[in-house]
Amino acid sequence: MTRDELKTMLESRDVTFRRVAIDEVVMSFPVHSDLFFSAFHTDDESAMEMANAARQWMPVLRDGYNDAMTKFESPGKYAVFSNLAESYSVFIKEMYKDIASLDGNTAQRTKDLLWYNFPGLRTELKGVANQQKQDRRRQLMVFVTGKCNMHCPYCFSMELQKSSISKTDMMRVLSWAQRNKVQSLLPCGGEPLMYENIDWLIQETERLGIKMYFATNLSVRMPDMMLNGKSNSIEQLHVHITNELFNDERLMSTFRNNLRLCRENGTDIILRGNIFADDSENHYDEWFKIAKDADINALNVAFTIPSHKGINSFVHFDLIRAMIPRLRRILEQGRENNIRVSIAKPLPLCLFPEDMALDILRHNHNASFCNVNEDDGMHNLSLSTDLRFSPCLGVDEPSVPFSDELGWDTLRDIFSKAIGALQSQTLLEHCDSCFLYHRRLCQGACLSYKQPRRNGGVPCGN
Ligand code: SF4
Ligand code: SF4
């Protein structure tokens, strides 16, 4: 494609033509950097289209814990992921060149659009762009019950007490949530559908205008509100496909029936498969069959994380290299079946072959850095069955007892510091020379691996 053809296609009214041209510009950025930046000079829509493509191909621009991000130094400083450092260095040079060539107003507008579209660039643009605060939807995860009908060896909640939050306490929690402008409630467990008051909880959240989404094994009787499709508050279900299903026809039949009903009711569903330390009898092929039968095109997979005491069958780092072929096969099967496979928990990408690491980074938002820091460290606020707040299901320290008077801002002041410290902490010896670490694009793993109290005081990652 000649440069003139490329320009014509970029200006085309045909979306497909534009998309092809944008991909070409992004993939050969050093050659077409001027066309890339011109999308950010005037028009919000072309900026958005270009940014969407760029975030896929240059994940460096996309994520990052930008408040703590260190300023980019010479690419030679980085021994791990040095190629990414090189291409980022070219990007920054071209960006400054472009901005310097613009008049005052256009330059400011370009900087603002870049700041808005690329969180990964914000350290570079600090002080030069008008920083807009992006509001996050406030959410609260509540461990409503420790009960479950399954016995998964990898379960994160393995040591949770089998008790439930009483209806009276749950009413206090809902009032608290409403006072503190919580917009989404995530019941968690155990199996949340086994919560004695689940029908009531769905009705109450609906009455209060609070939305819900949650993870479930979907193999128990569904609450009436879900059976008859009358719930407007449930926005999405993350349905776990557990190994036990494949050894028990009755469970599998309940699961398939519930899945069919949810699909018929129009519930948005993402399937979830867990890869754990001893899953020699895995059922990865069946995951895809279930997805295809139910016409679901999204599968979320995770290497399982350590439970509170680290006694579940979680994937230790020593095991990751050996497990890479399994993940590679799952990603290939996703492509073969046209099912989007995403990674649910951050992975130490340096342990993967570079081509695979880059592929994972490009196509997965949370592949190496989770979103627990969003909303000033409150994005994954959790409340345990014994009514204690913690920053996330994977980070249960510090914890603060629930009280009606406690305010969102008080919790935020405590938890944002804890989350920031854990996300900044290096995980492996060579993190300090890694480009992804310095751009805060990799935190190594789920923060549950870094908690010092686990395994009698030793973090599970070491
Ligand atoms: S930050 Fe650390 S764990 Fe992540 S890829 Fe770099 S070296 Fe590996
Ligand atoms: S800390 Fe772990 S459990 Fe929490 S959001 Fe990050 S990856 Fe998920």
What per-residue confidence (pLDDT) applies to 460? Answer: 66
Angle, alpha carbons 359-437-428 (nearest 5°):
95
At 169, which CATH number? 3.20.20.70
Q: Are residues 257 and 395 in the same domain?
A: yes
Q: Which of 142, 199, 135 is nearest to 169 (CA)?
A: 142
Q: Give the number of other CB atoms < 10 A from CB of residue 409.
A: 10
- Boundary (domain end) residue, out of 125, 148, 165: 125
Mean pLDDT of successive 10-residue stretches along the chain, which has 462 residues: 88 90 93 94 86 87 62 82 90 93 92 88 77 77 96 89 94 97 95 96 94 96 82 90 94 96 92 88 92 95 90 88 92 95 93 92 83 89 96 92 96 93 89 88 90 62 54
**Domain annotation covers residue 462:** no
Atom of ligand 2 nearest to the CA of 371: 5
Q: Are residues 164 and 115 in the same domain?
A: no
**Domain annotation covers residue 460:** no
For residue 353, what is the DSSP state?
-
Between CA 161 and CA 158 the distance in angstroms is: 9
Using a 6 Å CB cutoff, which residues line ligand 2? Answer: 345-346, 370, 372, 380, 392-395, 446-448
- Tell whether ligand 1 has an atom less than 6 A from the beta carbon of residue 461: no
Q: Are residues 228 and 350 in the same domain?
A: yes
Q: Are residues 314 and 376 in the same domain?
A: yes
| Residue 400 φ/ψ, nearest 5 degrees | -130, 125
Q: Give the number of other CB atoms < 10 A from CB of residue 432.
A: 12
What is the three-class DSSP state of 239? strand
**Domain annotation covers residue 309:** yes
Spacing, Cα 242 to ligand 2 middle (Å): 20
Residue nearest atom 2 in ligand 2 by C-alpha distance: 446
Q: Are residues 171 and 28 in the same domain?
A: no
- Tell whether ligand 1 has an atom less than 6 A from the beta carbon of residue 80: yes
- Tell whether ligand 1 has an atom less than 6 A from the beta carbon of residue 446: no
Count of domains observed in the chain = 2
Q: Are residues 143 and 281 in the same domain?
A: yes
Between CA 225 and CA 308 the distance in angstroms is: 33
Pocket mutation for ligand 2, best pick of 422, 448, 449 (most atoms within 8 Å of C-beta): 448
Residue nearest atom 2 in ligand 1 by C-alpha distance: 431
Is omega for the bond preceding 398 within 30 degrees of 0, making it cis?
A: yes
- Boundary (domain end) residue, out of 99, 125, 151: 125
Between CA 266 and CA 194 the distance in angstroms is: 22
Q: Are residues 370 and 346 in the same domain?
A: yes
Residue nearest atom 5 in ligand 2 by C-alpha distance: 372
Between the alpha carbon of residue 395 and those of residues 149, 156, 171, 345, 405, the distances in Å are 25, 12, 25, 13, 23
Which tokens in the block code for residue 287? 């995951």
Q: Give the number of other CB atoms < 10 A from CB of residue 19.
A: 15
CB 210 within 8 A of CB 233: yes
Spacing, Cα 426 to ligand 1 middle (Å): 8
Q: Are residues 149 and 86 in the same domain?
A: no
Q: Which domain holds residue 38?
A: 3-125
| Model confidence pLDDT, tens digit, residues 364-390 | 877 888 889 888 889 999 999 999 999
What per-residue confidence (pLDDT) applies to 458? Answer: 59
Pocket mutation for ligand 2, best pick of 140, 342, 345, 424 (most atoms within 8 Å of C-beta): 345
- CA dihedral sign of residues 192, 196, 200, 201: negative
Q: Are residues 53 and 99 in the same domain?
A: yes
**Domain annotation covers residue 258:** yes
What per-residue confidence (pLDDT) applies to 148? Answer: 96
Which tokens in the block code for residue 131? 């920083």
Spacing, Cα 443 to ligand 1 middle (Å): 7
Between CA 36 and CA 50 the distance in angstroms is: 7
For residue 230, what is the DSSP state?
-
Long-range CB pairs of 203-206, under 8 A, 24+ apart, other chains included: 204/171, 204/174, 205/174, 205/233, 206/231, 206/232, 206/233
Between CA 409 and CA 250 the distance in angstroms is: 47
Spacing, Cα 449 to ligand 2 middle (Å): 10
Between CA 206 and CA 327 the distance in angstroms is: 39
Q: Are residues 222 and 365 in the same domain?
A: yes
Helices (H), ranges, 338-399: 354-363, 374-377
Q: Are residues 121 and 163 in the same domain?
A: no
**Domain annotation covers residue 256:** yes
- Boundary (domain end) residue, out of 95, 125, 155: 125
Q: Are residues 61 and 145 in the same domain?
A: no
**Domain annotation covers residue 458:** no
**Domain annotation covers residue 459:** no
**Domain annotation covers residue 325:** yes
